[in-house]
Amino acid sequence: MMKDLNKRSWAIACTLCLCLLLIAFTSTAFAKKNRLSVGFTTEEALENLQMGEAMQYTEMGAVFWPLVYDQLWIMGPAPDYEPLPMIVERWETDDYQTWRFYLVKNAKFHDGKPVTAKDVAFSLWYLPKSNPAWDYPDNDIEDKKTMKIIDDYTLEFTLAAKWPGKYPPASWMPVLPEHIWKPHKRKLGKFVNKKCIGSGPYKLKKFKGGEYIWMVKNKKYWGDVPAVDEVVFKSYGSQDAISMAMKKGQIEFIGYNGAPSVAYEDYKKAENIDVAISPGIALVWFSFNLHKENGIQDKLVRQAIMYGIDRERLIQMVYLGYAKPADSFIYPEMDTYNPDLPKYNYDPEKAEQMLEQAGYVDTDGDGFRTDKKTGQKMSFEFLVPSAWPDEVKLAKVVKEQLKDIGVEIKLKVVDLDTYYQFIYTPTDDKFDLSVSSEEPGPNGSWIWEFVRGYNNGGAGWNQAYYDNPEFDKTLDAMNAETDPEKQKALTFKLQEIVSEDLPYALLLRADMIDPYRTDTFEGHVATMGGFSSWINSWTYFKVRPKK
């Protein structure tokens, strides 16, 4: 009996020891730093840390800087997309032109210096003055004299024009430490910015241009400290390499643009990987060049082209079904979306009738109509950048579809920089129509500047060389309207004009396909554009290691 008891005691003691050892090892394992690795392609990688266009427009840059720099406010997560205070407690305005922001009082830069209203004023004034500029319609401050530093934590400024609506001004602007940037204020974009000192929830640890960015959490962050110890943005030579890296557990998800639709099934089958589908943030449309003297100038031709395109087929063939038709610059889930816009459903017979009616007929029996404006074959140059493989495919399908209604399309595939130069100078007549794409985001009122008339300050974004005084008047009224309902009605009207006149023809919105590992982290935040985009840093703030 005693022997049995001794044996039992030994067994219990051994089990306890084992448990203790296990707990010790487990706690050691938990004590190990957790690292969130995110994959980008080398084309998307950031080459330098200067606060220039690379930081704003490369995918890695656009996701990186909001993690190390605070902003006055940020876009809240889906579905409401409310403007949420970031480094401010609140803001107020009486007339939507003069704004007052109240900063939090315990925010510090990564070097320990406090964040004050002076830093905010410095950033708001000098970033738009740099060349190339960090400049958006909602940060157009009228005069430096109108910037008043009320106290260390209160800043007031007056915009050149009213900024009514749901969102306050000064969106997507980093708060730079004045004590570091002041000597470079005339040429902000040139400062090498090796340390990237901000006040955001992450701090830069190491940067290798074109290769990786290594961040660690800012333990002294004034707000909610992230649950992730380290974030690493890694670049890979191709989507194939990204896919292999994810399956091998070397990255958790893709940093921007998600995975191509052809990869969906492959990811879905992989172990410990799931795929989230979110509405896309990018809208794809045609820009018609109304400057060039040919049939495109004729509204009926533009409408006929739209009736001649089978969007459902495009979506199936190019995006394998992972896209939705679009008809407005405003996303359907936003309350300013006008649901009663003309849909231009595929109807080739109607398209042909419209062309006949407008006097575009096939005079020589070659299968193509004659452009009555030029007297030549109805043939249009279709500009598309080689860097957008899906849109190149789309253009090829469109070419075949429009052939059926007697319109010849000649594809003009150019590199991305040449493409941007061509579409933003329609007066050079380098294209007749082009595929275009932008990411307006929920706070997308700036997108209407693409339509503002050339004779009303619209040169710049206006790819179509569109000039409609009625549109401009409505746009100005919408921008100035402080009553939400009236502003909504004006936004409806803007959408109607564009849909009717078709300087731009909205086509579709590709879904965001986000594969992600399910065995390591949880709490990913999906918004339009997926887990990680220029409007969504929430995943990096909220994601946590899986227990």
Q: Point out which residues bind other proteins (CB under 8 A).
A: 35, 37, 42, 47-48, 50, 52-54, 56-57, 131-133, 135, 189-190, 205-206, 208, 210-212, 214, 230, 232, 234-238, 240-241, 244-245, 247-248, 250, 387, 414-418, 420-422, 424-425, 449, 460-461
> What one-character DSSP code corresponds to residue 386?
T
CB of 98 to other proteins, least distance (A): 24
End-to-end CA distance of the chain: 44
CB of 327 to other proteins, least distance (A): 25
Residues linked to residue 233 through DSSP beta bridges, in sequence order: 38, 213
| Tokens matching residue 86 | 């970031």
3-state secondary structure of 66: helix
3-state secondary structure 99-154: EEEEECCCCECCCCCECCHHHHHHHHHHHHHCCCCCCCHHHCECCHHHCEEEECCE
CB of 185 to other proteins, least distance (A): 15
Nearer to other proteins, 245 or 477 (CB): 245
Nearer to other proteins, 334 or 387 (CB): 387
Q: Report the alpha-carbon distance of residue 25 to residue 329 in Å, rounded.
A: 55
The DSSP line for 218-262 is -TT-SSPPPS-SEEEEEEESSHHHHHHHHHTTS-SEESSS---GG
| Tokens matching residue 84 | 């949420």
Nearer to other proteins, 101 or 448 (CB): 448
The DSSP line for 482-499 is -SHHHHHHHHHHHHHHHH
CB of 392 to other proteins, least distance (A): 15
| Tokens matching residue 17 | 């020891």
Helices (DSSP H) in 320-388: which residue ranges?
A: 348-357
CB of 171 to other proteins, least distance (A): 15
Nearer to other proteins, 125 or 461 (CB): 461
Q: Report the alpha-carbon distance of residue 57 to residue 41 in Å, rounded.
A: 14
The secondary element (H helix, E strand) that includes residue 517 is strand 512-517
Query: How many Cα atoms occupy the beta-carbon half-sphere of 241 within 13 Å?
Result: 10
Nearer to other proteins, 281 or 306 (CB): 281
Residues linked to residue 382 through DSSP beta bridges, in sequence order: 411, 433
| Tokens matching residue 85 | 């205070």
One-letter amino acid at 506 equals: L
CA 458 to centroid of chain Cα atoms: 22
Q: Report the alpha-carbon distance of residue 177 to residue 116 in Å, rounded.
A: 9
Nearer to other proteins, 61 or 85 (CB): 61
CB of 452 to other proteins, least distance (A): 11
Q: What does DSSP say about strands 521-522 and 148-151: parallel, antiparallel, or unpaired?
A: unpaired
From 215, 217, 197, select the one nearest 206 (Cα to Cα): 215
Q: Report the alpha-carbon distance of residue 150 to residue 156 in Å, rounded.
A: 7
Q: Report the alpha-carbon distance of residue 29 to residue 139 in Å, rounded.
A: 47
CB of 504 to other proteins, least distance (A): 15
CB of 478 to other proteins, least distance (A): 19
CB of 422 to other proteins, least distance (A): 8
Nearer to other proteins, 109 or 419 (CB): 419
CB of 107 to other proteins, least distance (A): 27
Nearer to other proteins, 202 or 319 (CB): 202
Nearer to other proteins, 247 or 324 (CB): 247
| Spatial CB neighbours of 380, under 8 Å, sequence gap ≥ 6 | 294, 295, 296, 407, 408, 409, 410, 432, 433
CB of 353 to other proteins, least distance (A): 37
Q: Report the alpha-carbon distance of residue 453 to residue 290 in Å, rounded.
A: 12
Q: Are 300 and 354 in contact (CB under 8 A)?
A: yes
Nearer to other proteins, 81 or 466 (CB): 466
Nearer to other proteins, 133 or 317 (CB): 133
Nearer to other proteins, 232 or 273 (CB): 232
CB of 495 to other proteins, least distance (A): 22
CB of 415 to other proteins, least distance (A): 5
Nearer to other proteins, 423 or 528 (CB): 423
